[in-house]
Structure 1
């Protein structure tokens, strides 16, 4: 089974995760033949290692990690590759790959630009 693992930073405030949970739910509905999980780098659970273990127990032997970061900073360039290297050792035979940071894709930058423009130019009551 193929898996898609959404990887986000994490935060202390549980409400911070709601948009990411909504993304995961929408993906599960759109791709029922894939296992879709959400994992966090820090401060929230599950972490990446636990999420991969869960996916393996569900029969996933091919997992694509999608970093839900606006840009490829240190977490995407250093932390994520190190975690993936550890997972390749603890899960031999697992095909594990990653995509670019989602915020660096044209479809996302275009969507954010349009949303920001809409928010900035919508009618607002006078102060």
Structure 2
């Protein structure tokens, strides 16, 4: 049993928009070398979520956690993401996929943003 993580974002036309995702990934890899991490985007950027899932499955991941790098759970998280995961499970029936709450809803992330704003 191998675990993988997907940092899921909306995507944008400007490639610089994805830099924080790369920084998060690099920090995760420093903290836990060897962890399987992919970026996956809803639109406008690659890899797509499907490509990220396929990549992790191809690397032997049997359990994937999708971490939405969103401030809150809007329609993309509540509606689009579960449909996309369902499609991926059709392609990879032995895969287990969990969707975390959006990062912006975690209390310690909110506290960190508040501290940043106060300084």
Task: State TM-score, norm by structure 2.
Answer: 0.96
Query: What is the total number of aligned residue pairs between the two structures?
Result: 118
Partner residue in 2 for 1:68: 69
Q: List gaps (5 residues or longer) in structure 2.
A: none
Q: Secondary structure of the equivalent of 2:81? A: helix
Runs of 4+ in 1 over 6 A off after TM superposition: none
1:107-122 alignment, distance < 5 Å: 107-118=108-119
Larger Rg belongs to = 1
Partner residue in 2 for 1:2: 3
TM-superposed deviation, 1:29 = 1.7
TM-superposed deviation, 1:34 = 2.1
Q: Which moved more, 1:32-41 or 1:71-80?
A: 32-41
TM-superposed deviation, 1:33 = 3.8
Pairwise CA RMSD of aligned residues?
A: 0.8
The whole-number CA distance in structure 2 between the counterparts of 1:8 and 1:39 is 6
Post-superposition Cα deviations, 1:4-30, rounded to whole Å, max 9, x if no partner, equal: 111011100011110111001111121
1:1-127 alignment, distance < 5 Å: 1-118=2-119
Q: Which moved more, 1:69-78 or 1:29-38?
A: 29-38
